[in-house]
Amino acid sequence: MKTVAILGASGGAGVTTVAAHLAAGLAGSRRDVLAFDANPDNLLRLHLGMAWNDPLGFGHALATGADWHEAAYRSAGGVDFVPFGDLASDAELARLGRYMETHPNWLRSELATLALPADTIVVYDCPRLPSPFSAQVLAMADLVLVVMEPDAVSYAVATRMVARANQAGLPPAQLLLNQFEPARALHRDITVLLRSAFGDRMSPVTIHRDAHVGEALACKQTVFEFAPPSQAAHEFAALSTWVLARLGREAGR
């Protein structure tokens, strides 16, 4: 079982979108995938067609004492996912966070009990650091993707995140540019800057800002179902291929 953690350099960078589409792209390549929403915002499920007012999820199950295994879904496109779930209040969220901090291996042990096929890839939508949920995921991640927008703030934050990741002995973080607009000179320049600074640690795939993505979300679909000939669909498919290659390389080390 391989773990891919998707983090964001800043809010609104598109972490949830990338996580949902990466899972859908891997599922489209006939891989066994599980998308896991570790973000209390609980938005991953909307890309995969879940009803808006359905409160179920693993967090909801933990908070209400139910069995979280019942909170797994399969989208119309064949992607298996586990939503976070709606929590009643902020206090519940804080309580859940403390539980996660006191049980740092909870996620790892729970996933080990699942009868998943051996080469399943689990894609995690992680909230911004610091977060106890992200800490659980990062502890077992095989690949960390840091999603960032091509602007100056993200550049600064991402640089810091990569430096920290290298120090802490975690698997090296890979940068992924999102919301790229080639017509903007600033975007092009930052891309060139990042490539020269990070080179191999940057994903060769750059995700464009494409209106198809927003429209697909409005229809509760991924762009693979909504607009297959779009540039976004092409790019997320390329991203899936690259992630697979990267996971294989990391495993070989």
Partner 1 sequence: MAGAYAIRLCALAGADARAPWPQMLAQLLLCDPARAPWLGANRQRFAASFPHIDFSRLRWGDPLRFVLQCLWLLLVLPEPSEAAQWQVPPALRRVRTLLSLAWRRVAPWLPGMDPQRMEQRAERMADHSTWDLPLARYLAYLAAAALAVLCVTTPFSLTAQLVFVVLLWVIALAMRQIPGPVATLLLIVLSVTASSRYMWWRMSSTLNWDEPLDFLWGLLLLAAETYTWLVLLLGYAQSAWPLRRQPLNMPDALTEWPSVDVYIPTYNEPLKVVMPTVYAAIGIDWPRDKLNVYLLDDGRRDEFRQFAEASGIGYIARSDNRHAKAGNLNNALKITDGEYIAIFDCDHIPTRSFLQSTLGWFLRDPKLALMQTPHHFFSPDPFERNLGLFRRTPNEGELFYGVIQDGNDLWDATFFCGSCAVLRRAPLEEVGGIAVETVTEDAHTALKMQRLGYHSAYINVPLAAGLATESLSAHIGQRIRWARGMAQIFRLDNPFLGKGLNWAQRICYGNAMLHFLNGGPRLLFLTAPLAFLFFHAYVIYAPATAVMLFVLPHMAHANLTNSRIQGGHRHSFWAEVYETVLAWYTVRPTMVALINPRKGKFNVTAKGGLVKDDYFDWTISLPYLIIVGLNVAGVLAGLGRIFWGPADEIATTVLNLFWTVYNILLLGGAISVASETRQVRLSHRVTIRLPAVLHQPDGRLIRCQTVDFSDSGCALSVPLATGLQRDEKVMVSLWRGAEEHAFCAQVISSDATQVRLQWMLASQEEQMMLIQCTFARADAWLSWSEGRETDKPLRGLQSVLRVGILGIVRVFHYAAPADSSFSTRIRQSGGWLRGMLPRRPAATGAR
Select the residue interacting with partner 1 from 2, 60, 209, 220 (CB under 8 A).
Answer: 209
Contact string (CB under 8 A) for partner 1, positions 152-191, x = contact: ----------------------------xxxx----x--x
Give least dist CB 211 to partner 1, A. Answer: 3
Binder of partner 1 out of 10, 64, 120, 231 (CB under 8 A): 231
**Considering the rule CB under 8 A, would residue 199 count as an interface residue with partner 1?**
no
The answer to whether 207 touches 14, Cβ cutoff 8 Å, is yes
- Name the β-bridge partners of 148: 177
Kindly state whether residue 126 participates in binding partner 1, applying the rule CB under 8 A.
no
Question: Which runs of consecutive H residues, i.e. helices, occur in 103-173?
Answer: 106-113, 132-139, 152-167
234 touching partner 1, by CB under 8 A: yes
Amino acid at 145: L
- Which of 94, 112, 153, 192 is close enough to bind partner 1 by CB under 8 A? 192
Structure tokens at 88: 């009643």
Residue (of 247, 250, 192) closest to 22 by Cα position = 247
* Least gap, CB of 18 to partner 1 (angstroms): 16
Is the peptide bond prior to 130 cis by the omega test (within 30 degrees of 0)?
A: yes
Of the two residues 96 and 239, which places its CB atom closer to partner 1 in the complex?
Answer: 239
- Token pair for 9: 């350099």
